[in-house]
């Protein structure tokens, strides 16, 4: 009997929707043999450049170059992710391709439309399940919000639009679940997520879906 590979689960959403908290809780629920990755992965050389861009408003880099760095930051982890899954580990990701495309396309720069932004991510492994967290209550009270680039309400609105356009483009109805977290406690969201994750089918050993 062939062994199942691990599940690749992605949690996406705008800023302040509780992604990182839920990724950590999901990791604990899966227990052993679970890997959690956050994008951008600021620990690599490319990630450090991204971190500088996000935290230093005076750091100048063309938007196209920034976009390609975020994509390269995913590509440098692609083999690692595939190998973990093949070993039977579950892999949880905090942001990935969808954030990569939505935040860049939301800038509205000529020539950097959704298709251009998506093209460099073609071929990356596609999650078995993507959970998109949505909070309908605007809540700017989180400590530190506004300190990094992209953290302002008018930009977040544009990013939201691009997320939905991308879901449509990628026929995401088969592997995307929109999770409404409005008014929910951390525990309630975690329970919702765990129920959805448990319903995800086991995947045969060497089958990978890719972003095409
Ligand atoms: P965090 O606040 O989650 O650390 O993200 N972003 C993220 C992009 O613009 N492109 C990408 O490819 C990814 C993964 C979202 C920091 C910011 O980086 C944005 C918010
Ligand atoms: Mg942030």
CB atoms within 10 A of CB 98: 24
Assign 206 a pLDDT band (cuts: 50, 70, 90): confident
Domains of the chain: 8-199 (3.40.50.300)
Residue, of 111 and 2, whose pLDDT is higher: 111
pLDDT > 90: what percent of the chain?
86
Q: How confident is the model at residue 143 (pLDDT cuts 50, 70, 90)?
A: confident
Instruction: Provide the H-helix boundaries in 1-127.
Output: 19-30, 45-55, 63-86, 97-105, 114-119
Is the CB–ligand 1 distance for residue 67 below 6 Å? Answer: no
Ligand nearest to the CA of 101: 1
Residue pair 16/142 in contact by the 8 Å Cβ criterion: yes
| Closest listed ligand to the CA of 63 | 1
Peptide bond into 149 cis (omega under 30): no
Percent of the chain with pLDDT over 70: 95
Q: Which residue CA neighbors atom 13 of ligand 1 most closely?
A: 100
Q: What is the pTM of this model?
A: 0.96
Write the residue with the smallest CA distance to atom 2 of ligand 1: 15
Q: Which two tokens stand for residue 186?
A: 């951390």
pLDDT in tens, 6-40: 999 999 999 999 999 999 999 999 999 999 999 99
58-79 pLDDT tens trace: 999 999 999 999 999 999 999 9
């Amino acid at each position: 009997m062939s062994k199942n590979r691990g599940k690749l689960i992605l949690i996406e959403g705008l800023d302040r929707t509780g992604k990182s908290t839920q990724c950590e809780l999901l990791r604990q629920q899966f227990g052993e043999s679970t890997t959690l990755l956050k994008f951008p992965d600021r620990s690599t050389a490319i990630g450090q450049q991204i971190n500088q861009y996000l935290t230093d408003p005076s750091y100048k880099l063309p938007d196209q170059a920034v976009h390609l760095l975020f994509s390269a930051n995913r590509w440098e982890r692609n083999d690692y992710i595939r190998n973990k899954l093949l070993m039977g580990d579950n892999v949880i990701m905090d942001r990935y391709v969808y954030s990569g495309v939505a935040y860049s396309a939301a800038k509205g720069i000529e020539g950097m439309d959704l298709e251009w932004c998506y093209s460099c991510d073609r071929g990356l492994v596609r999650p078995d399940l993507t959970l998109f967290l949505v909070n309908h209550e605007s809540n700017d009270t989180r400590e530190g919000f506004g300190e990094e680039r992209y953290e302002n309400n008018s930009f977040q609105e544009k990013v939201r639009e691009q997320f939905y356009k991308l879901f449509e483009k990628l026929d995401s109805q088969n592997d995307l679940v929109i999770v409404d977290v409005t008014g929910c406690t951390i525990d309630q969201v975690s329970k919702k997520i765990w129920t959805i994750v448990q319903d995800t089918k086991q995947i045969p050993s060497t089958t990978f879906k890719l972003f095409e």
